[in-house]
Amino acid sequence: MELAVGASDSAMRSLLGKLGSLLAQEYTLISSVRSEIQYIKDELASMHAFLLNLGHAADHHHDEQTRDWMEQVRDVAYDIEDCIDDFSHRLGGQPRGEGLLSGLRRARYAVATLWERRGIAARIVDLKNRAQGVGERRTRYGVKDPGPDAGNGKAARSAPSYHVNDRPQPGPQLVGAAEPVGMEDAIDKLGAWLTEGLPDLRVLAVVGFGGLGKTTLALALHRKFGEKFESRACVQASQKLNLAALLRSILRQVMPQVPDKESTDGDSLAGIERWTDKQLKEKLTAHLEQKRYFLLVDDVWSVSSWEYIWGSLPKNNNGSRIVVTTRFKSVADASTHQQTGDIHMLDRLSDEKSKRLFNERIFSGDDSCPDEFRETKDKILKKCGGLPLAIVAVAGLLARDPRSKSHWTKVQDSLSSELEMNLTPEGVTQILNLCYNDLSADQKNCLLYLSIFPKGCSINRKRLVRRWIAEGFIVEKHGKTVEEVADDYFNELISRNIIRQVDHSSNGKVKTSQVHDMILEYIVSKSSEENFITVVGGHWLTAMPGNKVRRLSLHSSNPEHAKDAIERMNLSHVRSLTAFESLEQFQSFTFKFGILQVLDLEGCKGLTTSHLDKICKMFHLKFLSLRKAHVKKLPSDIGKLQYLETLDIRETNVQELPPSVADLKQMAHLLGGNKTTRLGLRFTEAISRMIALQTLSGIGICKSSAGALADMHNLTKLKKLSIYNVKDFDSKNLSHELLSAIEYLTGCSLKSLAIDDGFTGFLNLMDSLSTPKYIHTLELSGELPRVPKWISELQNLEKLTLSLTSLSTDALFILAQLPVLFSLAFSVSAASQDHGVMEILTKNTTNSGGKILIPSDGFHSLQLLRFSAPLLPLLSFLDGAMPKLQRLELRFMILEGAHGVENLASLQQVLLRVSQQAPETTKVQVSDIRSSVSLHPNRPTVVVDEYYG
């Protein structure tokens, strides 16, 4: 495996910036230390330039001496950076100012910190000697500079010769999962087998080695035929089976979602994390024993794992189906032995199907490959050996410059001729190496960082890019902010088929993504060798780090192994810590990290008050996520984290922040509250003083927020504001204070605004608001009798959600003229069905004359339409209506009907969420919608789910 030059480059670049800042400060230093720091900076700058030259040569051309020297450079850079950060923290409180009093303070400071300054001076001298030794060792052992022309020779064929922003950014979309190419016949054949025949429980095993498309085929079956079953779920088994986690995942998917406060003993999943295997099995059996269910179990590795899974599932005779994917014929035989089953053996794609897949990924399905490229294309495809993973990886590489003959020729020459004979896993690794080496240094860092996440994990885009930024991988370039550059890098990895999009937000951006198993295994191995990420307890066993751990990811696949491994590690230099699921099996010393910059404990159990107190001593933290953790309040010392940029406390019980958060002057993203229960984080004066905020999500406004509202104007950098509730809001002065702040912020940087007024009537004042012409996203929930009068002037509006708006054809005619509107939702919260809500619903029906007409003119950009209410009037889509609409979502208890669905020319998905309390007449309407959709030429998928309420 090759050394990741990008990781070394990132460490060096970060350190040089800190050394420059340190030299610019007037710290009280021991004599000569400043000159030592200057020497270190100059020496490392030379090393950095040398590393960049090495980076222009293909990594596999480096000999062992060069690779060893590069590792030494990286390690000394890491240690110097740790020392500098410690120095800055411990001695950064030097008194400033002029005059006698300031002079006395500086003198007292110099005496009080004398021993600390001497200790740090000694460390700096030692590090200077190490840096000098590393520099001399290069020439002593003959590590040669490849020269300034390294990027022009054969060794540099993989060096990127373009900027990410040269490639057009993908437009917003909703349907990310395209139908698999070359598997149409298998899908039709297996689909018939799944949906027809005897009512017995049947098992289908899909078998093939890695990269053949087992999961792709199984997901296509689940997506296309799953809606014909009453309940369905998709889970992953993996090499180290966690049966309890698998059963919990099934239950969460097959049981209708219901907020805890509305649940009864029979329908609640409250406390599911503490249920035993026996309780999980009993709950699953009780829910599914009378239902026809479809279950996809992906990646089963052993017969014993299958037997555990099979023994946990209800065995009914209602025509239920289970699809199993596995690499092993023995598992397939076992899964189909005791019940009616079938085995489908996957094979490599034929030449014709390989070409179709290749063209789909590069030319969007058209066979528009230039004639002069066809011979080169055929040679490349021959080397890909009919393996879908290899084809899409090479296609992603070629798509970087799809019209460059020289680029295609270089890729062809770089693929070994041995691949033509037999594409082995080692051959796939060679292809992945080629794709990896084509990335820039920063992009390599971003890719290696994915090894933090467990196999099969859905990775949230925003969570990932914010962590990239906190780690220092992203810098402003080409006139773009770090957030925009991070999004570019993410989109680049998607475009290259290195990561795949799983789900999209309602604004059309990728919400979650996933990494193919074989690609993730490659990334984990490379990251481990570079000592970039250390994964403990993960799916693949990696070598113990021979030196200091820099970034630690704790998985729970093998907790006993993880515990033993951690106890043998040097954790004093950890910069990033991520824990998945639980901290209970790890010792508390894992929190003694003074130089930690990223701490991600999303969804972790076992977080204690002691842990939180230790977090407040992690003075260099930039990213802190406690999302979904059992936390009631944050320590009063949280304000000491002066470098903190992201604080995520969503779906916790934290309702108010300590006053010290006012000291968090670099906070950019404050994420709180609970979107499901509408529990908000109280807006306080301390929050109003966090002037660097760009995202303020999940806050609540109440009477005690009065003093803070006057200072909300200070948040001039705010781009996104989400207010989850407005409580006890009966003062007109307070209402106008909030309205004034919103009006001011929409004239600054605010692009996204969401308000739920909790039926206080605040939204009635929105008409008096000056037109927020720069808003891109607007969500208004509560007592809103009509659309605001200025809504038609929002020429930049892309996403609009209106709750409790009077649904009328007139309102739709107004909204139809918004030129770039991508997503439109009308909703009524099922949790708010009080007397006032039902009156509005009845009024909706009366005002609309019992029906809503979707006009044939307008909505030229709309791709998502969502209606959500207990009672929906008749919806009629006129001929030519919403020409780009891809997805239609309806959530209801009673639906009068939906006519003209076949008139939606671009429709691809229809999602119907029906209340369990729906009358029989509603089921008739659902059947009618199915029939209407079946006539559509696009053959859209129809998914019917149920919910409590």
The 3-state DSSP class for residue 724 equals strand
In b/e form, how buried is each residue of 175-199, taking b as 16+ CB within 10 angstroms?
Answer: eeeeebbbbeebbeebeebbeeeee
Residue 820 pLDDT grade (very low, low, confident, very high; cuts 50, 70, 90): very high
Among 325, 345, 365, the domain boundary falls at 345
| Pairwise CA distance, residues 399 & 403, whole Å | 8
Quick check: 784 and 761 in contact, CB under 8 A?
Answer: no
pLDDT value for 684: 93
Is residue 474, in this structure, part of any structural domain at all?
Answer: yes
**pLDDT tens digits, 410-429:** 888 888 765 665 667 677 88
**pLDDT tens digits, 586-600:** 655 566 677 889 999
**pLDDT tens digits, 156-176:** 344 444 455 555 566 677 765
* CA distances, 732 to each of 58, 199, 348, 411 (Å): 68, 64, 70, 68
Give the domain extent around 50. 1-94+108-144
Residue 625 pLDDT grade (very low, low, confident, very high; cuts 50, 70, 90): very high
Which amino acid type is present at position 449? Y
For residues 140 and 282, membership in a common domain is answered with no
What is the C-alpha end-to-end distance of the chain, expressed in Å?
55
Least confident among 238-242, 263-267, 758-762: 263-267
pTM, 2 dp: 0.87
pLDDT value for 609: 85
Looking at residue 445, which CATH number applies to its domain? Answer: 1.10.10.10
DSSP-assigned beta bridge partners for residue 913 = 891, 945
Quick check: 28 and 106 in contact, CB under 8 A?
Answer: yes
Q: For 401, which DSSP code?
A: S
Looking at residue 290, which CATH number applies to its domain? Answer: 3.40.50.300
HSE at residue 755, side-chain half, CA atoms within 13 A, is 22
Strand order in the sheet with 851-854: 851-854, 874-877, 898-899
The 3-state DSSP class for residue 32 equals coil
Mean pLDDT, the chain, rounded, equals: 81
For residues 120 and 229, membership in a common domain is answered with no
Secondary structure (H, E, C), 557-584:
CCHHHHHHHHHCCCCCCCCEEEECCECC
**pLDDT tens digits, 839-884:** 655 555 555 555 788 888 889 999 999 998 888 888 889 889 999 9
Is residue 390, in this structure, part of any structural domain at all?
Answer: no
Q: Which two tokens stand for residue 2?
A: 């090759």
The 3-state DSSP class for residue 759 equals coil
Average pLDDT over residues 905-920: 88
Quick check: 496 and 445 in contact, CB under 8 A?
Answer: no
| Pairwise CA distance, residues 351 & 332, whole Å | 28
Closest to 90 in 3D by CA, of 65, 59, 64, 123? 123
Quick check: 662 and 639 in contact, CB under 8 A?
Answer: yes
Phi, psi of 300 (to 5 degrees): -85, 125
For residues 237 and 333, membership in a common domain is answered with yes
404: which residues sit within 8 A by CB, 6+ positions away? none
DSSP string, 527-547: HHHTTS-EEES-SS--PPPSS
pLDDT value for 657: 95
pLDDT value for 322: 92
Average pLDDT over residues 783-803: 89
Residue 475 pLDDT grade (very low, low, confident, very high; cuts 50, 70, 90): confident
Sign of the Cα torsion 552, 557, 561, 564 reads positive
pLDDT value for 607: 84
More confident residue, 61 or 832: 61
pLDDT value for 168: 57
* CA distances, 907 to each of 240, 734, 809, 882, 889 (Å): 40, 45, 21, 9, 11
For residues 463 and 548, membership in a common domain is answered with no
Is residue 817, in this structure, part of any structural domain at all?
Answer: no
For residues 25 and 135, membership in a common domain is answered with yes
Is residue 69, in this structure, part of any structural domain at all?
Answer: yes
pLDDT at 767 over 80: yes
For residues 539 and 525, membership in a common domain is answered with no
pLDDT value for 589: 53
Average pLDDT over residues 488-508: 89
pLDDT value for 97: 60
For residues 879 and 944, membership in a common domain is answered with yes
pLDDT at 825 over 80: yes
Least confident among 132-141, 431-440, 493-502, 517-526: 132-141
pLDDT value for 848: 52
How far is CA 115 from its chain centroid?
A: 46
In b/e form, how buried is each residue of 734-766, taking b as 16+ CB within 10 angstroms?
Answer: bbebbbebbbbbbeeebbbbbbbbbbbebbebb
pLDDT at 651 over 50: yes
Long-range CB contacts for residues 772-779, cutoff 8 Å, separation at least 24: 772/742, 772/743, 772/746, 772/747, 774/746, 774/747, 774/750, 775/746, 775/750, 775/751, 776/751, 776/752, 777/507, 777/720, 777/751, 777/752, 777/753, 778/752, 778/753, 778/754, 779/722, 779/753, 779/754, 779/755
Looking at the chain, the whole-number percentage of residues with pLDDT higher than 90 is 26
Average pLDDT over residues 115-136: 74
Q: Which two tokens stand for residue 472?
A: 């220092």
Residue 691 pLDDT grade (very low, low, confident, very high; cuts 50, 70, 90): very high
Average pLDDT over residues 513-535: 88
pLDDT at 323 over 70: yes
Looking at the chain, the whole-number percentage of residues with pLDDT higher than 70 is 80
Which amino acid type is present at position 697? S
Is residue 797, in this structure, part of any structural domain at all?
Answer: no
Among 479, 499, 530, the domain boundary falls at 530
Closest to 906 in 3D by CA, of 930, 925, 889, 888? 888
| Pairwise CA distance, residues 386 & 404, whole Å | 24
For residues 580 and 482, membership in a common domain is answered with no
Sign of the Cα torsion 209, 211, 215, 217 reads negative
Q: Which two tokens stand for residue 96?
A: 């400033």
Residue 92 pLDDT grade (very low, low, confident, very high; cuts 50, 70, 90): low
Burial of residue 316 (number of CB atoms within 10 Å: 0-12, 13-18, 19+) = middle
pLDDT value for 403: 73
For residues 59 and 140, membership in a common domain is answered with yes
For residues 507 and 560, membership in a common domain is answered with no
Is residue 507, in this structure, part of any structural domain at all?
Answer: yes
pLDDT value for 9: 62
How far is CA 543 from its chain centroid?
A: 28
Residue 495 pLDDT grade (very low, low, confident, very high; cuts 50, 70, 90): confident
Among 288, 323, 345, the domain boundary falls at 345
Structural domain count, the chain: 5
Is residue 910, in this structure, part of any structural domain at all?
Answer: yes
Residue 200 pLDDT grade (very low, low, confident, very high; cuts 50, 70, 90): confident
pLDDT value for 842: 59
**pLDDT tens digits, 201-234:** 889 999 988 888 898 899 989 888 888 888 889 9
pLDDT at 683 over 90: yes
| Pairwise CA distance, residues 735 & 761, whole Å | 10
For residues 850 and 876, membership in a common domain is answered with yes
| Pairwise CA distance, residues 867 & 595, whole Å | 49
Average pLDDT over residues 469-489: 89
Closest to 297 in 3D by CA, of 366, 238, 350, 244? 238
Phi, psi of 794 (to 5 degrees): -85, 80
Is residue 766, in this structure, part of any structural domain at all?
Answer: no
For residues 631 and 497, membership in a common domain is answered with no
